[in-house]
Amino acid sequence: MRPRLRGAVRPRLRRLPRPRTLRARLTVGLVVLLAISCAAVGVAAVVELNGFLTRRLDEQLSEVGTRFPASLEHQGRLSDDLPQSRKDSTGGTPIGDEHGDTRRQATGTFGARLVGGTVTNAAVVPSGNAKTSLDVSLAPRDEKQLAAVPTDGRGHTVELSSLDDYRVMATQGLDGDVLITGLPLEPVQATVRRLELVAGIVFALALAATGVAGALWVRWSLRPLSRVAATATRVSELSLASGEVALPPRAPESDPRSEVGRVAAAFNRMLGHVEDALTKRHASEERLRSFAADASHELRTPVASVRGHAELALLHPGPVPPQVTRALERIAAESSRMGEMVDDLLLLARLDAGRPLEHLPVDLTRLVLDAVTDARAAGPDHRWTLELPEDPVTVTGDTHRLHQVLANLLANARLHTPVGTKVTVSLETDATTVALKVHDDGPGIPDDIQPGVFERFSRADRRRTEASGGGAGLGLSIVAAVVEAHAGSVDLESRPGATTFTVKLSTE
């Protein structure tokens, strides 16, 4: 016995590929069921035919009787020396004067005489018109098989090494011997093998034809379901996040009494509900966008008027109480901040409406230098550094809006990091893209805030006060909207000690 090696890897049996589509599964299932049915019918037919032919062979053995093996018992003796039952119908002709009585015996008939479990004579009827039998020499194994055949007058199958398979019947002789008559099983086996061959060919052709016809039938039956799947695929490829959405035509409905018809009808009803919801959402967005644009536009004039009157009052030459001066200064400051908020809302409304921006060459390197200079003046307590390529970087876009993107990112880094934080602005270019990065080593943005950091009115620190420079939460949403209008993208990566905003723009 070979020892089992540790760590030996057993070869894995390769599994047959499973059909993935419903059409393939139904077709394979139909063919498999038909194959099982054909196999059951074939096996039943073969077994029944084999049993029927074997029973017919046993009947022939019963009709033949023991004439042939009995003729081998007393070869050369006259009929007068034999009992009356052993004589032929003429009453005087010796039946054993020749080597075995082959009259009315089928070709291949086997006869044997056993005395005390030992075969004394064994012969077989030859083909043709021969009147004598042929002796058969049996192997010891054959003699054991013949000796083991019970004398019950019933047929039994034995395999003789020199004669192949035989159906034999044993009968007790008159002299205490055992007479065995046998007929070859080869005709039965040949008939059964022919039936197996014909059944195999017919069933194989039937399975092939059923497979092709079943595949076509299943494909035709599932055609409505395929159309539903195609419609669902087209819907899944649509962008449903915002804006007006045009859904594809409905899936064609079939018989509502069928499962496929009910699926198609339910799917179409679902598409109708989705379309109604998208239409209402789009209308609501349009109303909100129109309101924001109108309100921003209408608020610009009164806000500017309030600010102007406050500044004018501060220029009054006469004595003004300190409390009034402080109030006028606050009015001017808040009106200025409110004006900036109105401008931001108006910009977002215009971007949402798809207003085109300028498409002119923009020197992004110069833009970064100017923005960082302004940020250094606004936040002298921060450390501002630049990482720029040697050659100028140019993109196509709106100079004023791109400057606003960079200014908002730098203001965000200045307002939300402590004094002494290092802020690095860098430009990286490749063949078709430029990446503008604003990195700081501040405390970072909390994980629960990051997913909505580019949403409108989102605040990274909800506990900020007016003294800390808290705004309306529109800065990063403006960054995202302007970058999207330039067909670019903006991403955020933040953890404690490292926060990076990356703006990618196309150089083409």
Q: Which residues are CB-neighbours of 20 under 8 A, at least 6 positions away?
A: none
Please give the average per-residue pLDDT across 113-136, as a whole number: 79
Question: Which has the higher per-residue pLDDT, 94 or 437?
Answer: 437
List % helix, strand, coil for the chain (3-state, nearest 5): 50, 15, 35
If asked whether residues 71 and 60 sit together in one domain, one would say: no
- CATH of residue 345's domain is 1.10.287.130
Report the percent of the chain where pLDDT is more than 90.
Answer: 13
The last residue of one of the domains, among 355, 381, 416, is 355
Q: What are phi and psi of 112, to 5 degrees?
A: -150, 145
pLDDT, position 83: 47
Computed over every residue of the chain, the mean pLDDT equals 79
Report the SS3 class of residue 123.
strand
Nearest CA to 397 among 481, 500, 485? 485
Q: What is the pLDDT of residues 286-316, one digit of tens each?
A: 776 676 666 666 666 777 777 787 777 777 7
Whether residue 203 is contained in a domain is answered as: yes
> Are 162 and 137 contacting, i.e. CB atoms less than 8 angstroms apart?
yes
> Are 253 and 225 contacting, i.e. CB atoms less than 8 angstroms apart?
no
If asked whether residues 82 and 113 sit together in one domain, one would say: yes
Give the range with max mean pLDDT: 123-127, 206-210, 218-222: 206-210
Nearest CA to 99 among 66, 120, 128, 121? 121
Report the SS3 class of residue 491.
strand
If asked whether residues 369 and 399 sit together in one domain, one would say: yes
If asked whether residues 370 and 479 sit together in one domain, one would say: yes
Q: Whole-model pTM above 0.95?
A: no
If asked whether residues 45 and 81 sit together in one domain, one would say: no
Complete edge-to-edge strand list for the sheet that includes strand 134-135: 134-135, 118-124, 110-115, 178-184, 164-172, 156-160
pLDDT, position 385: 92
Nearest CA to 224 among 248, 253, 245? 253
State the DSSP string of 90-121: TSSS-TTSSSS--TT--TT-EEEEEETTEEEE
Q: What is the pLDDT of residues 362-417, one digit of tens each?
A: 889 999 999 999 999 988 999 999 998 888 888 988 888 899 899 989 998 898 89
> Are 133 and 123 contacting, i.e. CB atoms less than 8 angstroms apart?
yes
If asked whether residues 154 and 283 sit together in one domain, one would say: no
Report CA Rg, the chain: 52
pLDDT of residue 210 exceeding 70: yes
Whether residue 11 is contained in a domain is answered as: no
Kindly give the residue spans of alpha helices, DSSP state H, lying in 148-258.
186-221, 223-236
| Residue 69 identity | P
Report the SS3 class of residue 433.
strand
The last residue of one of the domains, among 321, 355, 389, is 355
Tracing tokens 């054993």 back to the chain, one arrives at 96
- CATH of residue 460's domain is 3.30.565.10
pLDDT of residue 2 exceeding 60: no
Nearest CA to 180 among 94, 95, 93, 118? 118
Which pair of tokens denotes residue 26?
Answer: 């139904």
Whether residue 491 is contained in a domain is answered as: yes
What distance in Å separates the CA atoms of residue 474 and residue 352, rounded to the nearest whole number?
Answer: 14
Please give the average per-residue pLDDT across 222-251, as a whole number: 74
Query: Is residue 40 within a helix (H) or strand (E), and if so which, with residue range?
Result: helix 22-64
336 to each of 50, 119, 269, 305, how far by Cα in Å? 107, 130, 52, 11
> Are 191 and 49 contacting, i.e. CB atoms less than 8 angstroms apart?
yes
If asked whether residues 145 and 196 sit together in one domain, one would say: no
pLDDT, position 425: 92
Whether residue 57 is contained in a domain is answered as: yes
pLDDT, position 12: 53
What distance in Å separates the CA atoms of residue 111 and residue 102, rounded to the nearest whole number?
Answer: 10
Please give the average per-residue pLDDT across 347-371, as a whole number: 81
Whether residue 264 is contained in a domain is answered as: yes
Give one word for 133, left, alpha or beta, with left for phi > 0 and alpha for psi -120 to 50: beta
The length of the chain, given as a count of residues: 508
Please give the average per-residue pLDDT across 214-232, as a whole number: 80
pLDDT, position 92: 35
Whether residue 8 is contained in a domain is answered as: no
Question: Which has the higher per-residue pLDDT, 412 or 260?
Answer: 412
Report the SS3 class of residue 504.
strand
pLDDT, position 236: 73
| Residue 404 identity | Q
Q: What is the pLDDT of residues 7-45, one digit of tens each?
A: 444 555 455 566 667 778 888 888 888 899 989 999 999
If asked whether residues 102 and 191 sit together in one domain, one would say: no
| Residue 443 identity | P
> Are 361 and 396 contacting, i.e. CB atoms less than 8 angstroms apart?
yes
If asked whether residues 180 and 245 sit together in one domain, one would say: no
Please give the average per-residue pLDDT across 232-252, as a whole number: 72
Question: Counting runs of H as helices and runs of E as strands, what totals does the chain give?
Answer: 10, 13
Inter-axis angle of helices 223-236 and 259-314, nearest 10: 10
If asked whether residues 334 and 466 sit together in one domain, one would say: no
Report the SS3 class of residue 14.
coil
Whether residue 7 is contained in a domain is answered as: no
The last residue of one of the domains, among 302, 328, 355, is 355
Weakest mean pLDDT among 69-78, 207-216, 413-422: 69-78
Q: What is the pLDDT of residues 48-100, one digit of tens each?
A: 999 999 899 888 888 888 778 877 765 444 334 444 444 443 333 333 444 56
Whether residue 348 is contained in a domain is answered as: yes
Q: Range of 141's domain?
A: 67-184
Give the range with max mean pLDDT: 233-247, 339-353, 406-420: 406-420
If asked whether residues 42 and 154 sit together in one domain, one would say: no
325 to each of 307, 317, 333, 336, how far by Cα in Å? 14, 12, 12, 17
Please give the average per-residue pLDDT across 439-443, as a whole number: 91
Quote the number of domains for the chain: 4
CB neighbours of residue 367 within 10 Å = 21
112 to each of 105, 139, 161, 218, 376, how far by Cα in Å? 14, 13, 15, 63, 123
If asked whether residues 365 and 266 sit together in one domain, one would say: no
pLDDT, position 295: 66
